[in-house]
Amino acid sequence: MASVPAIPAEGPRTLAMSAAQDLIGGLCRTDLWGRLGWLDVKRRYRRTMLGPFWTSISLGIYVVCVGVVGAGLWHQDIEQYVPFLVSGMIAWLLVSTIINESCTLLVAGHALFRNVRFEYSILAYALVWRNFIVFFHNLLIYVMAVAVLQPRLIGFTVLLALPGILLVAANGVWVALLCGMFCLRFRDVTQIISSVLQISMFITPIFWPPGNLSGSRRLFFVETNPLYHMINLVRAPLLGEVPSASSYAVVLGLTVLGWILTYRVFKHFRKRIAYWS
Protein backbone atom coordinates (compact mmCIF):
# COMPACT_ATOMS: atom_id res chain seq x y z
CA MET A 1 0.00 0.00 0.00
CA ALA A 2 1.45 3.38 -1.00
CA SER A 3 2.38 5.79 1.72
CA VAL A 4 2.52 9.59 1.78
CA PRO A 5 6.08 10.96 1.82
CA ALA A 6 7.20 12.14 5.22
CA ILE A 7 6.79 15.84 5.95
CA PRO A 8 9.67 17.40 7.87
CA ALA A 9 9.03 18.20 11.49
CA GLU A 10 8.68 21.76 12.69
CA GLY A 11 11.91 23.60 13.26
CA PRO A 12 13.43 27.10 13.50
CA ARG A 13 13.92 27.35 9.72
CA THR A 14 10.31 26.54 8.89
CA LEU A 15 9.08 28.92 11.57
CA ALA A 16 10.96 31.78 9.90
CA MET A 17 9.97 30.74 6.35
CA SER A 18 8.95 33.64 4.14
CA ALA A 19 6.24 33.66 1.48
CA ALA A 20 8.85 33.42 -1.29
CA GLN A 21 10.59 30.50 0.42
CA ASP A 22 7.22 28.80 0.81
CA LEU A 23 6.33 29.16 -2.87
CA ILE A 24 9.74 28.23 -4.25
CA GLY A 25 10.42 25.52 -1.68
CA GLY A 26 6.99 24.00 -2.24
CA LEU A 27 7.50 23.96 -6.01
CA CYS A 28 10.80 22.14 -5.57
CA ARG A 29 9.10 19.42 -3.52
CA THR A 30 7.84 17.62 -6.60
CA ASP A 31 8.19 14.31 -4.78
CA LEU A 32 5.72 15.46 -2.12
CA TRP A 33 3.03 17.35 -4.02
CA GLY A 34 3.25 14.92 -6.93
CA ARG A 35 2.68 12.00 -4.58
CA LEU A 36 -0.09 13.78 -2.66
CA GLY A 37 -1.96 14.60 -5.87
CA TRP A 38 -1.66 11.05 -7.20
CA LEU A 39 -2.73 9.48 -3.90
CA ASP A 40 -5.75 11.75 -3.70
CA VAL A 41 -6.91 10.57 -7.13
CA LYS A 42 -6.41 6.97 -6.05
CA ARG A 43 -8.32 7.60 -2.81
CA ARG A 44 -11.32 9.05 -4.64
CA TYR A 45 -11.61 6.01 -6.90
CA ARG A 46 -10.60 3.34 -4.41
CA ARG A 47 -12.27 -0.06 -4.97
CA THR A 48 -13.38 0.89 -8.48
CA MET A 49 -12.30 -1.00 -11.58
CA LEU A 50 -11.89 1.98 -13.93
CA GLY A 51 -10.67 4.63 -11.48
CA PRO A 52 -10.67 8.18 -12.93
CA PHE A 53 -11.91 6.81 -16.25
CA TRP A 54 -15.38 6.88 -14.66
CA THR A 55 -15.20 10.67 -14.94
CA SER A 56 -14.27 10.30 -18.59
CA ILE A 57 -17.17 7.91 -19.21
CA SER A 58 -19.61 10.35 -17.58
CA LEU A 59 -18.19 13.15 -19.70
CA GLY A 60 -18.54 11.03 -22.84
CA ILE A 61 -22.22 10.29 -22.16
CA TYR A 62 -22.84 13.96 -21.39
CA VAL A 63 -21.16 15.12 -24.60
CA VAL A 64 -23.15 12.69 -26.75
CA CYS A 65 -26.50 13.70 -25.24
CA VAL A 66 -25.88 17.44 -25.10
CA GLY A 67 -24.07 17.38 -28.45
CA VAL A 68 -27.09 15.95 -30.28
CA VAL A 69 -29.45 18.48 -28.69
CA GLY A 70 -27.04 21.41 -28.91
CA ALA A 71 -26.31 20.88 -32.59
CA GLY A 72 -30.00 21.36 -33.25
CA LEU A 73 -30.39 24.34 -30.92
CA TRP A 74 -27.45 26.24 -32.37
CA HIS A 75 -28.06 25.05 -35.95
CA GLN A 76 -24.62 23.45 -36.13
CA ASP A 77 -23.32 20.46 -38.05
CA ILE A 78 -22.94 17.70 -35.45
CA GLU A 79 -19.52 16.79 -36.89
CA GLN A 80 -18.34 20.29 -35.99
CA TYR A 81 -20.35 20.88 -32.84
CA VAL A 82 -19.39 17.74 -30.88
CA PRO A 83 -15.61 18.37 -31.11
CA PHE A 84 -16.28 22.00 -30.16
CA LEU A 85 -18.32 20.88 -27.15
CA VAL A 86 -15.98 18.15 -25.91
CA SER A 87 -12.85 20.29 -26.19
CA GLY A 88 -14.59 23.12 -24.37
CA MET A 89 -15.92 20.82 -21.66
CA ILE A 90 -12.60 19.21 -20.80
CA ALA A 91 -11.00 22.66 -20.54
CA TRP A 92 -13.93 24.00 -18.49
CA LEU A 93 -13.87 21.03 -16.11
CA LEU A 94 -10.17 21.59 -15.52
CA VAL A 95 -10.52 25.30 -14.77
CA SER A 96 -13.78 25.15 -12.80
CA THR A 97 -12.75 22.16 -10.68
CA ILE A 98 -9.50 23.86 -9.68
CA ILE A 99 -11.45 26.95 -8.61
CA ASN A 100 -14.10 24.95 -6.75
CA GLU A 101 -11.61 22.77 -4.90
CA SER A 102 -9.52 25.83 -4.02
CA CYS A 103 -12.29 26.93 -1.69
CA THR A 104 -11.68 23.96 0.60
CA LEU A 105 -7.91 23.75 0.10
CA LEU A 106 -6.86 25.16 3.48
CA VAL A 107 -10.08 24.25 5.26
CA ALA A 108 -9.52 20.56 4.55
CA GLY A 109 -5.80 20.79 5.32
CA HIS A 110 -6.09 22.52 8.71
CA ALA A 111 -5.54 19.31 10.66
CA LEU A 112 -2.21 18.92 8.88
CA PHE A 113 -0.72 22.39 9.15
CA ARG A 114 -1.93 23.03 12.71
CA ASN A 115 0.40 20.29 13.90
CA VAL A 116 3.25 20.49 11.38
CA ARG A 117 4.87 23.53 9.80
CA PHE A 118 5.55 23.07 6.09
CA GLU A 119 5.08 24.88 2.79
CA TYR A 120 1.39 25.72 2.38
CA SER A 121 1.96 26.02 -1.36
CA ILE A 122 2.48 22.24 -1.52
CA LEU A 123 -1.28 21.84 -1.09
CA ALA A 124 -1.92 24.18 -4.05
CA TYR A 125 0.56 22.38 -6.29
CA ALA A 126 -0.97 19.01 -5.36
CA LEU A 127 -4.48 20.32 -6.11
CA VAL A 128 -3.50 21.52 -9.59
CA TRP A 129 -1.57 18.32 -10.32
CA ARG A 130 -4.42 15.96 -9.41
CA ASN A 131 -6.82 17.91 -11.61
CA PHE A 132 -4.40 17.65 -14.51
CA ILE A 133 -4.28 13.89 -13.99
CA VAL A 134 -8.06 13.79 -14.49
CA PHE A 135 -7.75 16.22 -17.43
CA PHE A 136 -5.39 13.88 -19.27
CA HIS A 137 -7.84 11.02 -18.69
CA ASN A 138 -10.64 13.17 -20.15
CA LEU A 139 -8.55 13.83 -23.25
CA LEU A 140 -9.39 10.27 -24.27
CA ILE A 141 -12.99 11.37 -24.92
CA TYR A 142 -11.73 14.18 -27.17
CA VAL A 143 -9.51 11.76 -29.11
CA MET A 144 -12.39 9.31 -29.59
CA ALA A 145 -14.85 12.01 -30.67
CA VAL A 146 -12.43 13.61 -33.12
CA ALA A 147 -11.24 10.27 -34.51
CA VAL A 148 -14.83 9.41 -35.39
CA LEU A 149 -16.12 12.80 -36.57
CA GLN A 150 -13.13 14.89 -37.73
CA PRO A 151 -9.80 13.02 -37.83
CA ARG A 152 -8.15 15.93 -39.64
CA LEU A 153 -8.19 17.96 -36.40
CA ILE A 154 -5.47 15.76 -34.91
CA GLY A 155 -2.30 17.40 -36.23
CA PHE A 156 0.66 19.51 -35.22
CA THR A 157 -1.64 22.39 -34.24
CA VAL A 158 -2.72 20.35 -31.21
CA LEU A 159 0.75 20.95 -29.75
CA LEU A 160 -0.18 24.62 -29.32
CA ALA A 161 -2.41 23.47 -26.46
CA LEU A 162 0.70 22.83 -24.34
CA PRO A 163 1.46 26.53 -23.67
CA GLY A 164 -2.21 27.01 -22.82
CA ILE A 165 -2.13 24.09 -20.40
CA LEU A 166 0.97 25.53 -18.72
CA LEU A 167 -0.71 28.92 -18.36
CA VAL A 168 -3.79 27.29 -16.84
CA ALA A 169 -1.52 25.50 -14.36
CA ALA A 170 0.29 28.75 -13.47
CA ASN A 171 -3.03 30.48 -12.86
CA GLY A 172 -4.42 27.48 -11.02
CA VAL A 173 -1.75 27.70 -8.31
CA TRP A 174 -2.34 31.35 -7.45
CA VAL A 175 -6.11 30.87 -7.62
CA ALA A 176 -5.81 27.90 -5.23
CA LEU A 177 -3.79 29.91 -2.72
CA LEU A 178 -5.84 33.10 -2.95
CA CYS A 179 -9.26 31.41 -2.83
CA GLY A 180 -7.98 29.04 -0.16
CA MET A 181 -7.00 31.93 2.12
CA PHE A 182 -10.19 33.91 1.56
CA CYS A 183 -12.45 30.89 2.03
CA LEU A 184 -10.56 29.87 5.17
CA ARG A 185 -11.01 33.31 6.69
CA PHE A 186 -14.50 34.01 5.34
CA ARG A 187 -16.45 30.77 4.88
CA ASP A 188 -19.29 32.49 2.97
CA VAL A 189 -16.94 33.11 0.05
CA THR A 190 -17.17 29.42 -0.84
CA GLN A 191 -20.89 29.71 -1.60
CA ILE A 192 -20.37 32.90 -3.59
CA ILE A 193 -17.68 31.33 -5.78
CA SER A 194 -19.78 28.20 -6.32
CA SER A 195 -22.78 30.26 -7.41
CA VAL A 196 -20.71 32.44 -9.75
CA LEU A 197 -19.18 29.35 -11.40
CA GLN A 198 -22.60 27.80 -11.99
CA ILE A 199 -23.73 30.93 -13.81
CA SER A 200 -20.39 31.31 -15.63
CA MET A 201 -20.77 27.87 -17.19
CA PHE A 202 -23.75 29.11 -19.21
CA ILE A 203 -22.61 32.65 -20.05
CA THR A 204 -19.16 31.48 -21.19
CA PRO A 205 -18.96 30.12 -24.78
CA ILE A 206 -18.78 26.44 -23.93
CA PHE A 207 -22.11 25.18 -25.25
CA TRP A 208 -22.61 27.95 -27.77
CA PRO A 209 -20.22 29.36 -30.41
CA PRO A 210 -18.77 32.77 -29.47
CA GLY A 211 -19.58 34.05 -32.96
CA ASN A 212 -23.30 33.91 -32.12
CA LEU A 213 -22.97 37.12 -30.09
CA SER A 214 -22.18 40.57 -31.39
CA GLY A 215 -21.94 44.12 -30.14
CA SER A 216 -21.91 44.89 -26.43
CA ARG A 217 -23.03 41.38 -25.47
CA ARG A 218 -20.03 39.85 -27.22
CA LEU A 219 -17.76 42.40 -25.54
CA PHE A 220 -19.10 41.51 -22.09
CA PHE A 221 -19.59 37.73 -22.32
CA VAL A 222 -16.68 36.89 -24.63
CA GLU A 223 -13.96 39.49 -25.05
CA THR A 224 -13.76 40.57 -21.40
CA ASN A 225 -14.46 37.10 -19.98
CA PRO A 226 -11.17 35.70 -18.58
CA LEU A 227 -12.66 32.21 -18.33
CA TYR A 228 -13.33 32.21 -22.07
CA HIS A 229 -9.77 33.22 -22.91
CA MET A 230 -8.31 30.60 -20.59
CA ILE A 231 -10.49 27.90 -22.13
CA ASN A 232 -9.75 29.16 -25.64
CA LEU A 233 -6.00 28.64 -25.17
CA VAL A 234 -6.69 24.92 -24.71
CA ARG A 235 -9.74 24.46 -26.94
CA ALA A 236 -8.61 26.31 -30.08
CA PRO A 237 -5.57 24.05 -30.77
CA LEU A 238 -7.74 20.99 -30.18
CA LEU A 239 -9.98 22.30 -32.95
CA GLY A 240 -7.06 22.82 -35.31
CA GLU A 241 -6.96 26.58 -34.75
CA VAL A 242 -4.32 28.96 -33.43
CA PRO A 243 -5.49 30.78 -30.26
CA SER A 244 -6.04 34.49 -30.75
CA ALA A 245 -3.43 37.02 -29.62
CA SER A 246 -6.06 38.61 -27.38
CA SER A 247 -6.50 35.34 -25.48
CA TYR A 248 -2.76 35.09 -24.86
CA ALA A 249 -2.64 38.75 -23.81
CA VAL A 250 -5.56 38.43 -21.39
CA VAL A 251 -4.32 35.20 -19.79
CA LEU A 252 -0.73 36.43 -19.51
CA GLY A 253 -1.96 39.66 -17.93
CA LEU A 254 -4.16 37.68 -15.57
CA THR A 255 -1.21 35.48 -14.63
CA VAL A 256 1.04 38.41 -13.77
CA LEU A 257 -1.60 40.41 -11.88
CA GLY A 258 -2.92 37.33 -10.11
CA TRP A 259 0.50 36.29 -8.87
CA ILE A 260 1.34 39.83 -7.71
CA LEU A 261 -1.90 40.06 -5.73
CA THR A 262 -1.60 36.53 -4.34
CA TYR A 263 2.01 37.04 -3.27
CA ARG A 264 1.17 40.26 -1.43
CA VAL A 265 -1.78 38.66 0.36
CA PHE A 266 0.14 35.45 1.07
CA LYS A 267 3.12 37.40 2.40
CA HIS A 268 0.94 39.46 4.73
CA PHE A 269 -1.35 36.72 6.06
CA ARG A 270 0.75 33.55 5.82
CA LYS A 271 1.55 33.48 9.55
CA ARG A 272 -2.15 33.71 10.42
CA ILE A 273 -3.35 30.77 8.34
CA ALA A 274 -2.86 28.23 11.13
CA TYR A 275 -4.93 30.38 13.52
CA TRP A 276 -7.80 31.00 11.11
CA SER A 277 -8.60 27.27 11.02
All structural domains of the chain with their residue ranges = 18-276
Evaluate if residue 124 carries a pLDDT over 60: yes
Per-residue pLDDT, averaged over 82-99, amounts to 94
Amino acid at 8: P
pLDDT on residue 102: 93
pTM of the model as a whole? 0.86
Evaluate if residue 118 carries a pLDDT over 70: yes
Interval 212-268: pLDDT, tens: 888 888 888 899 999 999 999 999 999 999 999 999 999 999 999 999 999 999 998
Long-range contacts of range 194-201, CB-CB < 8 Å, 24 or more positions apart? 194/100, 194/103, 197/96, 197/99, 197/100, 200/96, 200/227, 201/92, 201/96
